[in-house]
Amino acid sequence: MTVVEIGPVTDRREPAAVGTATHCPYCGLQCAMTVTGDGPATATVEPRQFPTNRGGLCRKGWTAADVLRVQDRLTTPLVRVDGDLVPTSWEHALDLVASTLTKLRAEHGPDSVGVFGAGGLTNEKSYLLGKFARVALGTSNIDYNGRFCMSSAAAAGNRAFGLDRGLPFPVSDVGSARAVLILGGNVAETMPPFTAHLATAAEAGGLIVADPRRTPTVDRALAAGGVHLQLSPGTDLALALGMTHLAVAEGYADRDYLDERTEGFDAFWATAAQWWPERAERVTGVPVSRMRETVRALAESRDAGTGAYVLTARGAEQHASGTDTVSAVIALALVLGLPGNRGTGYGAITGQGNGQGGREHGQKADQLPGYRSITDPAAREHVAGVWGIDSADLPGPGRSAYELLDSLGRADGPRALMVHGSNLAVSAPRAAHVVDRLDALELLVVTDFVLSETAARADVVLPTLQWAEEEGTMTSLEGRILRRRRALRAPDGARGELDILADLAERLGQPADRFPRDAATAFEELRRASAGGPADYSGVTYERLDAGEALHWPVPAVDHPGTPRLFLDRFRTPSGRARFTVADHVGPAETVDEDFPLLATTGRVLAHYQSGAQTRRVAELVAATGPMFVEVHPDTAERAGLADGDAASVVSRRGTTRARVKTEATMRLDTVFLPFHFAGAERANLVTNDALDPTSRMPEFKVAAVRLERAS
């Protein structure tokens, strides 16, 4: 298996001169780095010592400066004329967007315009994008790509704890634990420096990974006697119920904790009691002995005071039953008495750079800043007061991300869409259908710094700044608010999104001072809007962050130290107790049959990130991964008439993707793996299922029934 690069590479660069302290543009770990140089051509990056990355960077982080100097960087607005995108002035581009939006709103109402954001936007941009949609446009139709990332874990966290913060404890707490269970996470590839926090558990033989594949994270566990729970895709919920049954039946449950700190166990147990370990084994394929070993390791480390954590990631969450799956995993953690105690806990690993902050301040269809509900009258009054409008003028909840995309161009859906920071043509499920919906729009506006696959289909493209060219804040996977600092001067022609939103808002009739143009002013307004909400940033200031204070929200006052560890005294439910949710296994939304006998699951690889719009432009990263591949057991490939290196078609009920066969003897015979970073005919999401979780509205990215064929 591949050896994962975690820290600096020996042949990199000379030690950095004094530069600008900031954070990596990629994942939610938000590794600290220093950017040095007088412009993109000379920019270099070096890691900084920080609690999350401990002085390390992954390959993506080390090459982050290369993205700043990509050859196809956009610096001039583009508009579509006679089918082609041609350069134009900012004035013409913005006038065209504003006049078209005004016309559509007048003819079809405010919901004829939609907005799609991203978990990579700063807190300030996330906040103002939500405000722009609801105030300048008056539309309810705003959502973001975080719906494809953390929504199931967020919904389950709110159910159980009354609050959603991915890790309700600092990630460094995990570093001392001798038992860690990760369900559906391959951190050795998705955020390599995270593995440093797993070293204690790994060396003790207490690192346990539930994953259909033998990933580099699994290898890390097995190398020291840990456990691989190699389950069938889409059976995480059954696995969690089976292990919970073991915990109760074999005396590992913390009865005092259940009595004092939880509610609803009896109703939950009525279902979990039916999941004998042997039944769970038949459904998941995981031997009872390994389930028992997992539960014993967590309980013994808990009892010894050496730390025990249960963590989920996308593999457990991106299902049509993802919310119930995470609820069942949380139930396992509650039965063991882990959440809300020092040295033990449950957490969800946030994937996107600002996946946490991005969903706290108004990009999500049902939320207002501060993680407030848009249907709560008090929340509406508070936010409307900050915005200087009547609360009755605020729209209600809109469509979730995929439902918004599916409605584009239809009679009752948006006729225009503004996209900020998302590459929907690659990242959305049932991607060919989504592209058809994008093409049905009367106006598609994409704000980006490169011509992504989505931007290439736009009517107007607005060139924006990159991470090292802007000020703002990000919120890491542990709820820690961080400063993103401007390190380089932006190229002539590109504009920050705050400027773009302000210019458009004025053209749409908004007062000139309603939409701040600088990040510091926007953050001051965000502080007031979030005050009193679940995600309270009101005590956070740029001055405190620049002074190096570690501020984990909530921070309700300027003299408040922040809250690195939530729930130590009580959970944020009305009773103060954590709540069990009744959840039962129903399986994937679609099953295999004679025509589609295999299960496809998707995920990341070390060198690429998300849709690949950035990393596919870095030569070193492209060379490290090579072309699109489908990972498959050699026997499964042979049955399809294929061998290693052959060109294959992976066919589902929704479409076909092209890939090179990569045989791997550790794969399950019934499973194939597709990375989702590639474009065109190699998009993994051409085959993925758009079935939605009824609570989170998360699509089922992780399971699709497919067959393998030789490509023509």
pLDDT tens for residues 439-457? 999 999 999 999 999 999 9
Closest of 565, 566, 551 to residue 474, by C-alpha? 551
Q: What is the pLDDT of residues 650-690, one digit of tens each?
A: 999 999 999 999 999 999 999 999 999 999 999 999 999 99
The angle subtended at Cα 344 by Cα 342 and Cα 347, nearest 5°, is 110
* Percent of the chain's residues with pLDDT above 70: 97
Please report the pLDDT score of residue 59 as a whole number. Answer: 96
Q: Quick one: which H or E segment has residue 314?
A: helix 314-317
Return d(Cα 468, Cα 49) in angstroms, integer. 19
Give the pTM.
0.95
| Class of the domain covering 78-148+354-464+496-519 | alpha beta
Return d(Cα 311, Cα 279) in angstroms, integer. 24
Sheet harboring 32-36: ordered strands across? 20-23, 32-36, 44-47
Residues in contact with 200: Cβ distance below 8 Å, sequence separation at least 6, in sequence order: 175, 176, 177, 178, 307
DSSP lists the bridge partners of residue 140 as none
DSSP lists the bridge partners of residue 419 as 116, 446
DSSP lists the bridge partners of residue 552 as 480
Does position 431 have pLDDT exceeding 50, yes or no? Answer: yes
pLDDT band at 503 (very low <50, low <70, confident <90, very high): very high
Please report the pLDDT score of residue 4 as a whole number. Answer: 34
Number of Cβ atoms within 10 Å of the Cβ of 292: 17
Q: How does DSSP assign 368-399, residue by residue?
A: ETTTEETT-HHHHHHHHHHHTS-GGGS-----
Does position 2 have pLDDT exceeding 50, yes or no? Answer: no
For 565-583, what is the mean pLDDT? Answer: 98
Please name the residue ranges forming H helices in 574-666.
619-625, 634-639
Please report the pLDDT score of residue 334 as a whole number. Answer: 98
pLDDT band at 14 (very low <50, low <70, confident <90, very high): very low
Q: What is the pLDDT of residues 130-143, one digit of tens each?
A: 999 999 999 999 99
Would you say domain 151-353 falls under CATH 3.30.70.2190?
A: no
Q: Which of helix, strand or coil describes residue 190?
A: helix
The angle subtended at Cα 482 by Cα 476 and Cα 484, nearest 5°, is 115
DSSP 8-state secondary structure symbol assigned to residue 549: -
Q: What is the pLDDT of residues 276-335, one digit of tens each?
A: 999 999 999 999 999 999 999 999 999 999 999 999 999 999 999 999 999 999 999 999
pLDDT band at 13 (very low <50, low <70, confident <90, very high): very low
Does position 8 have pLDDT exceeding 90, yes or no? Answer: no
Please report the pLDDT score of residue 538 as a whole number. Answer: 98
The answer to whether the bond into 554 is cis (omega within 30° of 0) is yes
Sign of CA pseudo-dihedral 286, 288, 291, 297: negative
Residues in contact with 356: Cβ distance below 8 Å, sequence separation at least 6, in sequence order: 28, 150, 165, 166, 350, 475, 476, 477, 479
Return d(Cα 315, Cα 423) in angstroms, integer. 21
Closest of 107, 132, 73 to residue 488, by C-alpha? 73
What's the chain's average pLDDT? 96
Return d(Cα 108, Cα 98) in angstroms, integer. 15
Closest of 72, 126, 108, 181 to residue 523, by C-alpha? 126
Please report the pLDDT score of residue 39 as a whole number. Answer: 87
Burial of 326 (0-12, 13-18, 19+ CB in 10 A): buried
> Which runs of E-coded beta strand occur in 160-253?
179-183, 207-210, 227-229
Does position 460 have pLDDT exceeding 70, yes or no? Answer: yes
The answer to whether 418 touches 505, Cβ cutoff 8 Å, is no
What is the DSSP pairing of strand 416-420 with strand 372-373? unpaired
Identity at 206, one-letter amino acid code: G
- Return the structure tokens found at 361: 């301040």
Does position 119 have pLDDT exceeding 60, yes or no? Answer: yes
> Which runs of E-coded beta strand occur in 248-339?
262-263, 308-312
User: Which CATH number is 598-710's, of 1.20.120.530, 3.40.50.1000, 2.40.40.20, 3.40.50.1460?
Assistant: 2.40.40.20
Return d(Cα 52, Cα 174) in angstroms, integer. 11
Q: What is the pLDDT of residues 514-536, one digit of tens each?
A: 999 999 999 999 999 999 999 99
Domain extents for the chain? 78-148+354-464+496-519, 151-353, 598-710
Residue 287 CA: distances (Å) to CA of 235, 293, 629: 13, 10, 30
Does position 38 have pLDDT exceeding 90, yes or no? Answer: no
- Return the structure tokens found at 503: 């210019």
> Whole-angstrom distance between the N-terminal and C-terminal Cα of the chain?
30
Return d(Cα 699, Cα 286) in angstroms, integer. 25
Does position 1 have pLDDT exceeding 60, yes or no? Answer: no
Q: Is 375 left (phi over 0), alpha (psi -120 to 50) or beta?
A: alpha
Question: For residue 682, how far is the Cα from the chain centroid?
Answer: 22
Please report the pLDDT score of residue 10 as a whole number. Answer: 29
The total number of residues written for the chain in this structure: 712
Please report the pLDDT score of residue 351 as a whole number. Answer: 86
Q: Which of helix, strand or coil describes residue 138?
A: coil
- Rounded to 5 degrees, what are φ and ψ at 483? -90, 125
Return d(Cα 96, Cα 101) in angstroms, integer. 9
Return d(Cα 52, Cα 363) in angstroms, integer. 26
- Return the structure tokens found at 251: 């005396």
Please report the pLDDT score of residue 623 as a whole number. Answer: 96
Q: Which of helix, strand or coil describes residue 699?
A: strand
Closest of 481, 410, 532, 589 to residue 28, by C-alpha? 481
The answer to whether 380 touches 368, Cβ cutoff 8 Å, is yes
DSSP lists the bridge partners of residue 47 as 33
Closest of 166, 243, 409, 321 to residue 694, by C-alpha? 321
The answer to whether 77 touches 463, Cβ cutoff 8 Å, is yes
Please report the pLDDT score of residue 17 as a whole number. Answer: 47
Closest of 536, 573, 575 to residue 552, by C-alpha? 536
